[in-house]
Amino acid sequence: MREQKDEQKKKRPSKARKNSIYNGVMILILVAIVFSAAMFVGNIRGWFTEGGSILVTGKSGLAHVERKGIAYSLQEGTILKEGDRLKTLDGASVHLEIPGQGEAVLHEDTTLMIQEEKENTLGLQVMNGEVFFHTNTKDNKSLSVFAKEEELSSATGVFSVSVRQGTSTVYVYGGEVIHCRIEEETLLQKGDMLTILKTEKEENLYEKRRLTEETLSDFILRQLQKDYEGKDLFLTKEEAERILGKRQETVSLVLEEQINQETLSKKEEGDKEPGKSPEEEVNETQAGGEKAPSESQEKNPSKEPQDEKKEPGIASGNIEAQPGKTKETEKEKKEEQPTEIVPPVAEPEKPQKPAAKVLKATISIRVDSILDNMKDLTPGKEQYVPQNGVLLKATTVEFTQGETVFDVLKRVAKAANMQLEYAYTPLYKSYYVEGIQHLYEFDVGSESGWMYQVNGWFPNYGSSAYKLKDGDVILWAYTCKGLGADIGGSVL
């Protein structure tokens, strides 16, 4: 019997052995968790990417990458692979390194798709927004870039691609870029600009023209201030700095003029405001529910009327006399039972919500160019052209986050009782301004019409697609010659 018990004890696992097995199982579980987490992070970062790769080397603001239908916050060091879709949000930018081929910088509100190309290389498709490229390929392998469906190829070019609601534009600042089409190839060189416009017949129109400094956004000018291995560019670093400084100076002058106008208006209103007579002040005081003080009270403010004597901590008028009791009995009662004075309790201050930041922009509308082309103006329209060429002087307006140049124009036109006509274009999902204050497109020839400028730059897309930022300076100007050439801009 005793031998059987000893044998059962031998067969039964000891407590230490149980703990050892338990610890081993826990370690395996932890290893599995760590391995899964590493695989998950590696999949996001692209550690297991085969073939071509693109590395995120810089990021400011918020941006994310969508991979296999799941969106992740984009981080520096992420390796991108085929099928990835990048999206930069408002105020953000992302820098990409393309090994052996160059680099790319994404502007805010930009969507970029990574797609596989020939010979195990990756191509970049700009879906929306603006991207700056600097190519410096090895083994003469060109970088493939797509402006939506339009293919571009470059081995040594410094260029940018802008895609906005039906319009794509390629700007070449140095080197060469080839526009690849089935019918033919178009060579773009330093200073060239190619605009691709989709028509209602789903056909594309192409126009090649020369760059001007007014067609370059501030984002592009900042990129051109960098050093690109001594390449001969359309603008030097110093010229790009000068243009940016000039634009900032223009914005400052407009805002300064606006502030001076507001200050002068307030001063004039203050000078015109009549003084109030003593009788009016007495009437206003009585209307407010308070009794105007007598002359004796003004001389001796410590003396108060007997009927309005107040007790500390008790507001006047809050105590009502009880029915059936006279003032004398109340007074006796007070003398017999002294009233306990309760100090007023201050109510805790409610936390105030921080006031939302007021966003402001300045807008003006001018027709100076018409003054130089009055002979070509449609007869009868002379009455709508001011002698100084200004339909609306620089005016500061408030706007909300997400509003566009077009939204502000509509609001200002309504407030100023100014005629405005526009049309919605479904193809581009944007509004087109046809006429302001009875001055329409084609009123001064076949190349005339309205254009808008923001901070010295003429955007190459509709005003209803341009989201405003605080402090923006908007100018609506009428062009008569060269589709904007006479006012510093250009359109297709």
Question: pTM here?
Answer: 0.67
pLDDT at 492: 42
CATH 2.170.130.30 maps onto the chain at 359-487
Q: What percent of the chain has pLDDT over 90?
A: 47
Q: Which overall architecture, per CATH, does domain 359-487 show?
A: Beta Complex (2.170)
pLDDT of the residue at 309? 41
Distance CA 376, CA 481 (A): 11
Q: Tell me: the pLDDT tens digits for 112-127?
A: 999 876 665 678 999 9
Residue ranges, comma separated, of all CATH 2.60.120.1440 domains in the chain are 51-234
* Distant-in-sequence, close-in-space partners of 167: CB < 8 Å, separation ≥ 6: 195, 196, 197, 198, 428, 460, 461, 492
Contact 438, 329 (CB under 8 A): no
Read off the pLDDT band of 310 (50, 70, 90). very low
CA–CA separation, 482 vs 83, rounded Å? 42
* 420-458 pLDDT per residue, tens: 999 988 877 889 999 999 999 999 999 999 999 999 999
50 is written with which tokens?
Answer: 């085969």
Work out whether the CA dihedral 99, 104, 109, 114 comes out positive or negative.
Answer: negative
**Is the pLDDT assigned to residue 51 strictly greater than 80?**
no
Beta strand ranges found along 136-241 (DSSP E):
143-147, 150-154, 158-164, 167-174, 176-180, 185-189, 192-198, 204-210
Residue 229 has pLDDT above 50, yes or no: yes
Range name among 271-275, 345-349, 375-379, 461-465 with the lowest pLDDT average = 271-275
Which is more confident, 71 or 343? Answer: 71
Residue-level pLDDT at 288: 43
pLDDT of 103 above 70: yes
Inform me whether the pLDDT recorded for 297 exceeds 80: no
User: CATH assignment of 51-234, given 3.20.20.120, 2.30.38.10, 2.60.120.1440, 3.40.190.10?
Assistant: 2.60.120.1440
**Confidence band (pLDDT; 50, 70, 90) for 104?**
very high
What are 248-291's pLDDT values in tens digits?
887 777 777 766 776 677 667 766 655 544 444 444 444 444 44
Which pLDDT belongs to residue 317? 37
Give Cβ neighbours of residue 297 (< 8 Å, ≥ 6 apart). 303, 304
Q: Which residues contact residue 293 at a Cβ distance below 8 angstroms, ignoring those fewer than 6 apart?
A: 301
Whether 132 and 124 have beta carbons less than 8 Å apart is answered as no
Residues present in the chain in total: 492
